[in-house]
Amino acid sequence: MLAKANRIRTGADYRLTIRRGVRVHAPNTITYVRRVSDATPVRFGFVVSKAVGIAVVRNTVRRRLKAVSRELLPELAPGHDIVVRALPASVQASWTTLQGEIRRAVDEVGARCMP
């Protein structure tokens, strides 16, 4: 589980990130990255709709996305909010595919602090 400081918890923060963040499309996910103040730690949020599948499937996808984000956390520069929207194809996606998509999105926006 992500630490409380690394989670987006309010609907307003989700909306701001989705509306004002940079959007990066991939076959299994859409990632939104928004720059916030440098003093805040990197925060992640996840959107997994009913189009992805039944509750068990949605929760499995959400857990996989959380694990990928937890792995990327030390590499990210502070001051970013990241929302990952899972698409229905993410159910069949492998771990490395999901990891690559999120990593590519973060690289495109320039949110990484390490090369």
Question: Which stretches within the chain are classed as H helix?
Answer: 11-20, 55-72, 95-109
- Asked if pLDDT for residue 63 goes beyond 90, the answer is yes
Amino acid at 97: T
Q: In this predicted model, what pLDDT tens digit does every residue of 27-40 receive, in sequence order? A: 999 999 999 988 88
- pTM for the whole thing? 0.91
Give the list of residues 6+ apart from residue 3 with CB closer than 8 angstroms, or none.
none
19 in any annotated domain: yes
Task: Determine phi and psi for 40, rounding to 5 degrees.
Answer: -90, 145
97-106 tens-digit pLDDT? 999 999 999 9
Kindly state whether residue 44 falls inside one of the protein's structural domains.
yes
Q: Quick one: which of 84, 93, 114, 104 has its CA closest to 21? A: 84
Average pLDDT over residues 33-53: 93
Domain membership of residue 115 (yes or no) is no
Give the domain extent around 50.
4-109
CATH label of the domain that carries residue 87 = 3.30.230.10
As for how many domains the chain has, the answer is: 1
Query: Does the residue 46 lie in any domain?
Result: yes
